[in-house]
Structure 1
Amino acid sequence: MKLPEILMALLLASMLNNSADAETIRIAIGTQDTTINCATGGLLIRELQLLEKYLPHDGKYKDATYDIHWSNFTSGAPLTNEMVAGKLDIGSMADFPGTFNIDAFQKAGKRSLFINVLSGSTSGSGNGVVVPKDSPVQSLAELKGKTISVPFASTAHGMLLRAAAQQGWNTEEDVSLITQAPEIAGSALQANKIDAHADFVPFAELFPYRGFARKIYDGAQANAPTLHGTLVDADYAKKYPEVVTAFLRAAIEADHLIAAEPEKYSELIAKHTGIEAEVIYLFHGPLGLQTRDFTWKPEYRQALKTSFDTLKLLKRTSGDLTVDQFIDDQYIRTAFQQAGLDYDAHLKNYASSPLSAKDARTGVAITDFKRVAQLWVAGEALVRHYASPESAFADLNALEKAGKKIRVVYVQDSKLGIKLLAANAWFVQHKNSVSSFLLKDEAEVFAKANGGSVLSFAAIKNIYAN
């Protein structure tokens, strides 16, 4: 080959390489904004433009451009449909719909990967069952023979099936299960058209907060771990691993931001979802109802295994699915390493979002977090923390006498250890101490064993008002 021909060939090769480097890379992400424990894998990344901060611009990405698309869904099933159709590359959903995602990909001759956890509970808290506010029902056992609605194929559906099994119910005979989306169920509860509704984050707390329902069952009672996390099309992850890692770096930063300023970012999430900041803080504030946790703890792996087993029980799959086939932690491990974090140390950490505070009334440092109570005063940017319900109720009385409006009161359940909306909790006062409970029958058992009587929120407030 003559020199001019060689130069021309080299020029052509260079042009081809530059064309490849200048590829426009689509990043199509499916979020669930109203499923607020997905915020660090969706809404916060989008609104704070964190993904753009971490996308690679070197090596094979030197001249690449990015075409970022965000799509919002109210549940995991339609998000999965878009992923399988090739319209989305990344999506966030819970364990149960995540197994549907994996199964749907497999049936289509494709493969999806669960790459990280975003938020969850190793005990199962977050999913729950509510009844109309004036219903006489106080426990799940009382719903035998009744109609319970639930979004089918959701993580709440999986919880309800497991809870029914623990009750010894045959779900074909002992209870009537119907499918309802949260927005439909809310109206049905207000009109007393259903006996109960089971749902995922945040509706088992949101409906009681809005005053038309009572929570009678928390997923922690089933002791069945639950999570929300991120899935990715396996072919996309193989082609663009650095892009997937960048997404996870953005999620890690979102997590750090909300941990540092939970009130501020609860308000931001509220602005974009219509869900009250008081409910969002219940999950994302310190000692929250669920824990933001990006690592694949054994309990979360078990949650997926249980979901696969439930799919088979429902005869929704005949495939032989195993957890290890579809959990891939290499991307989150790389993201942790790039962020200077120790993945294995986080993997061993089971603590809820930490609280470092002094009692707002006494000024004494809080060291025992089992009895923490909190007040969010209208007009104040930060939530007030208290070492005990007694301290909080004493301050609550003083604040209200001074004309202050209280946005919300939180207490910790004395048995389940989860954060509660105090307005919907039950209390027992004994030996100058107050214990808090989600369930009235648990409060009654405690009162019988320790003395005292079971009190509503209004009643316990009245004691401290005198």
Structure 2
Amino acid sequence: MNRSRLALPAVLAAAALVIAGCGGSSNADAVGADGTVDLSKVTLVVGDQKGGSEALLTAAGELDDVTYDVQWKPFTSGPPLLDAVASGAVDVGGVGNTPPLFAIDQDKKLKVVQASKQGAQGDAIVVPKGSDVTSVADLEGKKVAVAKGSSANYHLLAQLKTAGLTLDDIDPVWLQPAEGLAAFTGGHVDAWSIWDPFTSQAEVANGAKVLVTGDGVVNGLAFQVASDDALDDPATEAAVSDYLQRLARAQAWANSHRSEWAKAWAKETGLPADVTESAIGRRTYQPIPVADAVPSEQDMWDAFVAQGQLSRDVSLADYFDDRYDDAVLAAAKGAGA
């Protein structure tokens, strides 16, 4: 099985490649003549977002005994991260439920290799304190900040549909999260479609009001996505397998150590503890077989096509690769997930 694509402005794609640095790893010398892999000779380049996998793995102690070299590359959101994955600058990275779809639409060379339900209460459309906007219908004609191709993009689309509106009925302002926060706090937009920890940051630090959450509206899925090049390289592929198992154990740890995880997340990101506690309080990690994600993602795909944001017919199952399912689900179960 397989997965997702993304259409981004050229400047964003270029920025992603600059951030990614010199590129993904070439690990040919880690494979012996008999085909065995020496992980100590492997470098794995991992794309990450604010307070993401690196912070979680560190807090759970899952990086303490890694035998290969992990190089972390930070990104502001999923779309530029997947640009870097598709270019080969990053081997694997974590994103929300929407960036893979835009990447697939561009026929980028990547696969979804791990899926987890994380809930959608932290996916929200927020409005400033004192705003006269009290329903999604009130957003008609309003400026709404949102990162194009992100999970917040689909959440906004879905909420508008429930109110009988489309993107054409509002004034979408396409901004990455940091820019969106600045526009929101500066009073330059009327609402902001975003995800945690930014939702909690807007609520706790800026007094924002949550208009709606994604609970019951969006699928609450998150993914790990790997490049085709990484999956075709035996050494890198082996490192990806180990990495995903560590991540599954770390997520299980987070479910049962919320306070410790909130403190570690605050330390890693510089966010106030009450912000991270709020975000973590409404998130639970539940790994699932990647195939189980396909039906709801196909529904999302169809919605984006109807809106004109995606352009082609595809079989999403071709972009979901289940080679790691057994190992990842076993790791999560063994750790208590």
Give the TM-score normalised by structure 1.
0.59
| Selected match of 2:62 from 50, 62, 83 | 50
Question: In 1, Cα distance between the equivalents of 2:323 and 2:36?
Answer: 26
Cα distance change on mapping 1:226 and 1:306 into 2, 3 Å: farther
- Residues 314-325 of structure 1 aligned to structure 2 (within 5 Å): 314-325=307-318
Choose which of 71, 79, 82 in structure 2 pairs with 1:80.
Answer: 82
Q: Please give the alpha-carbon distance, in whole angstroms, between the structure 2 residues aligned to 1:295 and 1:256.
A: 13
Tell me if the contact between 2:123 and 2:213 (Cα under 8 Å) persists in the aligned partners: yes
| Counterpart contact for 1:51–1:246, Cα < 8 Å | no
Give the 3-state SS of the residue equivalent to 1:220 in structure 2.
coil
Change beyond 3 A, Cα 1:265–1:340: closer
Please state how far the C-alpha of 1:49 moved relative to its aligned partner: 5.9
- The code of the aligned residue for 1:120 comes to Q
**Deviation of 1:54 (Å):** 5.5
SS where residue 224 of structure 1 aligns? Answer: coil
SS in 2 for 1:210: helix
- What code does the residue aligned with 1:245 have? S
Q: Do 2:255 and 2:285's aligned partners in 1 also have CA atoms closer than 8 Å?
A: no
Residue 94 (structure 1) aligns with:
96
Greater shift after overlay, 232-241 or 126-135? Answer: 232-241
Query: Bigger radius of gyration, 1 or 2?
Result: 1
Matched residues in 2 for 1:200 and 1:52: separation?
29
Secondary structure of the structure 1 residue equivalent to 2:215: helix
Q: Contact 1:113 / 1:328 at 8 angstroms: preserved in 2? A: yes
- Structure 1 position 339, deviation (Å): 6.4
Deviation, structure 1 residue 270? 0.8
Residue by residue over 1:306-342, the C-alpha shift from the partner in whole angstroms, topping out at 9 and shown as x without a partner, is: 3322442344544432232122233031233366649
The Cα of 1:119 is off from its aligned counterpart by 4.4
Distance 1:100 1:171, change over 3 A: closer
What is the CA distance between 1:47 and its match in structure 2?
Answer: 6.0
Q: Percent identity?
A: 23
Q: CA offsets, 1:350-379, max 9 Å, x none? A: xxxxxxxxxxxxxxxxxxxxxxxxxxxxxx
**1:331 maps to 2:333:** no
Q: Deviations over 1:148-205 (max 9, x none)?
A: 1111111111111111122112422x22111122322333333322211111222222
Letter matched to residue 187 of structure 1: A
Q: What are the equivalent positions in structure 2 for 1:219-298 lying under 5 Å apart?
A: 219-220=214-215, 223-238=217-232, 239-240=234-235, 241-284=237-280, 288-296=281-289
**Residue of structure 2 aligned with 1:26, choices 43, 55, 66:** 43
Task: State the Cα distance separating 1:20 from its structure 2 match.
Answer: 8.8
Alpha-carbon distance in 2 for matches of 1:281, 1:139: 27
Provide the residue aligned with 2:183 in structure 1. Answer: 188
Distance (Å, rounded) in 2 between the aligned partners of 1:183 and 1:340? 36
Query: In structure 1, what is the Cα distance between the partners aligned to 2:153 and 2:268?
Result: 26
Secondary structure of 1:326's partner? Answer: coil
Rounded to whole Å, the distance in 2 between the matches of 1:94 and 1:227 is 6
Residues 86-108 of structure 1, C-alpha deviation per residue, up to 9 Å, x if partnerless? 1100010011112223334x24x
Instruction: Pick one of 161, 172, 176 that aligns with 1:177.
Output: 172
Q: Which runs of 5+ in 1 are unaligned?
A: 1-15, 56-65, 347-466
Q: Which amino acid aligns with 1:226?
A: G
Whether the aligned pair in 1 keeps the contact of 2:57 and 2:250 (CA below 8 Å) is yes
SS in 2 for 1:252: helix
Q: Does residue 1:17 correspond to 2:12, yes or no?
A: no
Q: How many residues align?
A: 303
- Tell me the SS of whatever aligns to 1:53: coil
Q: Which runs of 4+ in 1 moved over 6 A?
A: 18-23
Structure 1 residues 299 and 142, CA, compared in 2 at 3 Å: closer, same or farther? farther
1:400 aligned residue: none
Residues 113-159 of structure 1 show CA distances to partners (whole Å, capped at 9, x for unaligned) of 212224422xx432111111121222222222222111111111111
Match of 1:305 in 2: 298
CA RMSD of aligned residues (A): 2.9
Q: State the secondary structure of the residue aligned to 2:193.
A: strand
For residues 172 and 111 of structure 2, the distance between their equivalents in structure 1, rounded to whole angstroms, comes to 31
Other structure's SS at 1:294 match: strand
Q: 2: distance between equivalents of 1:198 and 1:262?
A: 25
| Structure 1 position 297, deviation (Å) | 7.6
Where in structure 2 are there 5+ consecutive unaligned residues?
1-31
- 8 Å CA contact 2:112–2:290 kept in 1: the answer is no
Q: Verify the 8 A CA contact 2:114 2:325 in the aligned structure 1.
A: yes
Q: For 1:70, what is the secondary structure of its paired residue? A: strand
